[in-house]
Chain A
Amino acid sequence: GGIITQTPKFLIGQEGQKLTLKCQQNFNHDTMYWYRQDSGKGLRLIYYSITENDLQKGDLSEGYDASREKKSSFSLTVTSAQKNEMAVFLCASTSGVSGNTLYFGEGSRLIVV
């Protein structure tokens, strides 16, 4: 088995601030994802990466940057935090094999004051 660790669990910042969320996985998975979770809106894809140094934009990438400097880690940066961006951010990974399972971390909650 493996685990996905997201840090921090709660990230508090001020409006306009640049804030970074980190994700580590020990599954040795190739593909990693960042999703934003808002109540009643489901999970929306922000960025994903199919290998080290690769980045692919999802539907919600505007206002975010991502970085995949090594296979086991994937970070997400909110470039200028806004109060309407308060949500839970979920990191996930999969091996990329046909129909394989997506594994999630426990989530990081962004609070903008």
Chain B
Amino acid sequence: GDSVTQTEGQVALSEEDFLTIHCNYSASGYPTLFWYVQYPGEGPQLLFRASRDKEKGSSRGFEATYDKGTTSFHLRKASVQESDSAVYYCALSDQGYQNFYFGKGTSLTVIP
């Protein structure tokens, strides 16, 4: 079945550090890929998504590129801020458009 793997469970960085959170997926065809962010006390909210091979999604300085060859959608940000501290989820939507599969989440802590 379809699945999403996030390698990092917890990440701690200092402000202005470079961030990478790895996301690999397993799915047939061309799923839509998402990054969601969840702040304390809130539900997850969409950061951005991508639907085609080589498409780049971006928002608030975060970006990720859909790579069908390596089945990856890694999240990157050049310079993190304390306000980026949150849990980040990689997800995919299958081609039936009803099912969403989430990774286990990565808790990011940015130390000022």
Q: What residues of chain A have their CB less than 8 Å away from a CB belonging to chain B?
A: 4, 31, 33, 35, 40-43, 45, 48, 50, 56, 90, 92, 94, 96-107
Is the beta-carbon distance between B43 and A99 smaller than 8 angstroms?
A: no
Closest B residue by C-beta to A106: B43
Is the beta-carbon distance between A50 and B98 smaller than 8 angstroms?
A: yes
Is the beta-carbon distance between A4 and B43 smaller than 8 angstroms?
A: yes
Chain B contact residue count (CB 8 A cutoff)? 23
Q: What residues of chain B have their CB less than 8 Å away from a CB belonging to chain A?
A: 9, 32, 34, 36, 41-46, 49, 51, 89, 91, 93, 97-100, 102-105
Cα-based distance from A102 to B46 in the complex (angstroms)? 8
B103 / chain A contacts, CB cutoff of 8 Å: 42
Cα-based distance from A99 to B108 in the complex (angstroms)? 26
| New A-B contacts (11) at CB < 8 Å, excluding given A42-B105, A92-B43, A101-B34 | A43-B44, A43-B102, A96-B98, A97-B97, A98-B32, A99-B49, A101-B46, A102-B34, A102-B36, A102-B46, A105-B43
The distance from the CB of B88 to the nearest CB of chain A, in whole angstroms, is 11
Max count, chain A CB within 10 A of own CB: residue among B36, B44, B89: B44
Cα-based distance from A105 to B44 in the complex (angstroms)? 8
B97 / chain A contacts, CB cutoff of 8 Å: 96-100
